[in-house]
Amino acid sequence: MTKKEMNRHLLKKHNLWDVYYVLLHCHILKPIYIDKNTLLVPFEEMAYNDFLEIVEKLTESSNSSSSNSEKCWKRIKEKINTSHKEKNPVALLIFKNIEAENTKEAHEKTRGLAQDIIVTVGVLTNSSIELKGWIFENNKGIIPDIHFPYYKPVYIDSNALEEISKKIVNKMNDNHLVKLALRYENEALAETEADFSLLKRWTALEFIGEEYSRFLDKEKLLSKAQIKTITKLIIKNVITEENEEIKNKIQNSLGHINHRNAKDKIRDLLNWLDYSLENFDNKKDILDVIYQNRNCITHNGGCYKYKEAKEECEGPAYCRNSNLDLKDLNKELSCILVHFIGKLVGFSLEYNPIPEDLSELKKINEKLY
């Protein structure tokens, strides 16, 4: 091997990474080999020191000599250790020899397969596997990185947060729609894929719209008697023969004249909420785009527009040509759900982004209190 080849070999080796994904609630009894460089292994040595420290502080504050005794504390630690292993099984998803220039590239090269493995094993073991973080290792050492999928905070005045929290919690069990809206929105916030977030929010809104529509006295275009009369006329003058199957299909088709789709029902709900949507093209608005995206996701597995295959999209022109992305659509749906919760509970909530400079946040608090 020449000196140049050796240097190239050493450089390549230097850029090889092992990536470890830490998975919580992953119950497996033995290692699972996905391929020669990808391995999922059970890991029972997850630290529980933080929880123990909390318990220790509480026992100190109780001023109880028995609870502070060495013998009692030993039993407590053993019990917590056993309980932690049973209720929080941990596994490591290991990717070996990933060629990358840095940790960011190593993560980008493994995260897709990692997500596929997580959802597959989660379903097969009936577990909601939670990704806690990842650890990178090369010849220079180990670099850990904690995963924070749920921490996407907004700033809200503390007094307002307390008041609104009380109102929501007190109303939650009186109105199942409040709880439904909260849970779906919470799940949407935890989602890492924008299209799944959209589906969760739309599902909640569609359910609420359906519930609201039951209270509306909407006049039907055709009565049952009229549908039967039209059916008879069609059979007599067009079909010319009595056929039970044809008769039922004609009646069902005519019955759809009275049917109102989910988007129409949600518009009724928005009118009740006094929630306005701005038109942007030929009297179309963001709800039209959301509804079209929902259909594309459920029927086509996603929107071609966001897959950089716009020419393959068979959807309406207003949707193809809009500059709205999934982030915009999710933001609008989130605002509608929060507005709906506020309407039922009796509050109006304004979100404010957290300042990048935390000293600015301190100044805001000093003004408030």
Ranges of residues in the chain with a pLDDT under 70 are 1-14, 45-50, 55, 58-69, 149-158, 217-222, 227, 235-242, 251, 254-259, 304-312, 349-369
On whether residue 51 sits in a domain, the answer given is no
Say what the pLDDT of residue 9 is.
47
- Same domain? 168 vs 253: no
How many separate domains does the chain show?
3
Cβ-contact 95, 137 below 8 angstroms? no
On whether residue 67 sits in a domain, the answer given is no
- Same domain? 200 vs 172: yes
Domain end residue (candidates: 124, 146, 168) = 146
Cα gap 303→293, rounded to integer Å: 6
On whether residue 182 sits in a domain, the answer given is yes
Q: What strands, in cross-sheet order, belong to the sheet with 38-43?
A: 32-35, 38-43, 90-99, 16-24, 130-138, 141-146
Range of the domain at 241: 224-258
- Same domain? 29 vs 141: yes
- Same domain? 317 vs 272: yes
Q: What Cα–Cα distance (Å) separates residue 141 from each residue in 38, 42, 84? A: 20, 23, 29
- Same domain? 205 vs 275: yes
Determine if the pTM surpasses 0.95.
no
Domain end residue (candidates: 102, 119, 146) = 146
- Same domain? 111 vs 169: no
- Same domain? 241 vs 353: no
On whether residue 57 sits in a domain, the answer given is no
- Same domain? 275 vs 330: yes
- Same domain? 330 vs 355: yes
Q: Where are the beta strands (DSSP E) in 28-120?
A: 32-35, 38-43, 90-99
- Same domain? 183 vs 277: yes
- Same domain? 265 vs 339: yes
Say what the pLDDT of residue 11 is.
46
Query: HEC string of 58-75?
Result: HHHHCCCCCCCCHHHHHH
- Same domain? 279 vs 132: no
Cα gap 282→288, rounded to integer Å: 11
